[in-house]
Amino acid sequence: MNKHRGTILIIGDTLDGKLSPGTKQLGSKAWQLADRLGCDAVGILCGHDLHVTANDWSEATGLSVIALENPQCRYPHPGLLAAMAAPLVSEFSAKAVCFPHAMRTCQAAAVLAWKLQAPCVTAVESITLQGNELILKRSQYEGRLIASQIIDRFPVMLTLMPGGIPGEPEMDRSSRSPAVEIRQPAIKDDRVTPLSVDRIAGRDQGLENALVIVSGGRGLGSAEHKQQLEKTAALFKNAAVGASRGACDLGWMPHSLQIGETGRTVAPALYLACGISGAPQHLAGMRESRTIVAINTDKRAAIRSIAHYFVQEDLNTFLPLLRDRHEKTFAKGETDEDQ
């Protein structure tokens, strides 16, 4: 590795020794990002017993991976992660330290920035290099405005939204010769020790495994209208109902169905967003869906910017029509595969 070229450090997020979906996604785009910034790339993991995970990540991405291990990092600990990762920033002449965007990683990025007195930008949606400056774009006001920011001081700490790096994941890794290194740095800062992570009862994997997700937001108008979602989901073989935080906070839907930055991350073949405005925090959990159909009365809703199809209509009008059409089509004898 040519350290004089500068490096980007891709810091992965793990829980129970498994990579988060955002980490897998960011790792798969690591080389596009590195080329964009004219750098090499190195993956960093922090946790306990990471050997297998580090090898798998390296194999999947072509990244050399350094696993920082300590029993105190068995459970996620943004403060310790920042303390352990800080020395690597100067060791690798890092130009940028990139995290997949999530609550935990925002905390780690902020602590690391404070330690290094470096700039920190969270929820970055796109990056371009112009001369020696990075131009970063991020959404504001629930996606109604896009702010551009210039960074000319390095290293910079970034949390990256999914889908922010264009291009297909790199498939040809034959030119890379990645290595995995396990390090066990001493930890001086142990003021907080996480003791456990408890799973929320009743949370199954139905949403993550569904091919079709019919998701509802505040545009549902009331808890009763969630039936519209359930009846529509019943049209498809492997479908589930999801929700925005707006709908969950109102008590219309359980929080276990919340999709987004502080909820679940999904990537179904079809995502029907019904009455959801498309705040960046919601998009963070579903923008990798293969086909996104948004049903919204407001043609300026931010979700339109990522929807493949946009239906400007009241969901309480459109969804019954959709089901009706589906029934008539099937009454004519078309097969399920024609859907």
Q: Sketch the per residue contact string, 142 through 181, with ligand FAD: x for CB under 6 A, - otherwise.
A: x---------------------------------------
**Cross-strand partners of 72:** none
Length of the chain in terms of residues written: 339
Residue type for 223, please?
Answer: A
Decide if residue 110 touches ligand FAD (CB under 6 A). no
Per the rule left: phi > 0, alpha: psi between -120 and 50, beta: everything else, 306 is: alpha
CA angle 177, 179, 185 (to 5 degrees): 155
Report the residue number, 11 or 295, with the smaller CB distance to ligand FAD: 295
**What Å distances lie between residue 13 and 80, 276, 280, CA to CA?**
13, 28, 20
Decide if residue 247 touches ligand FAD (CB under 6 A). yes
| Given 95, 226, 282, 304, the residue binding ligand FAD (CB under 6 A) | 282
* Measured distance CA(140)–CA(280) in Å, rounded: 8
| Given 53, 92, 275, 287, the residue binding ligand FAD (CB under 6 A) | 275
Q: Which of residues 13-52 bind ligand FAD (CB under 6 A)?
A: none
Q: How far apart are the first and last CA of the chain?
A: 50
Residue range at the interface with ligand FAD (CB under 6 A); choices 58-66, 91-99, 176-184, 253-261: 253-261
Decide if residue 244 touches ligand FAD (CB under 6 A). yes
> How many of the chain's residues bind ligand FAD (CB under 6 A)?
29
* CB within 8 Å of 175: residues ≥ 6 apart: none
Q: Which of 35, 34, 11, 177 is nearest to 100 (CA)?
A: 11
| Given 47, 162, 219, 242, the residue binding ligand FAD (CB under 6 A) | 219
Report the residue number, 256 or 297, with the smaller CB distance to ligand FAD: 297
| Given 32, 55, 256, 262, the residue binding ligand FAD (CB under 6 A) | 262
Q: What are phi and psi of 338, to 5 degrees?
A: -80, -5
Decide if residue 296 touches ligand FAD (CB under 6 A). yes
Q: Which residues bind ligand FAD (CB under 6 A)?
A: 142, 217-219, 221, 244-247, 258, 260-263, 275-277, 279, 281-282, 285, 295-298, 301, 314-316
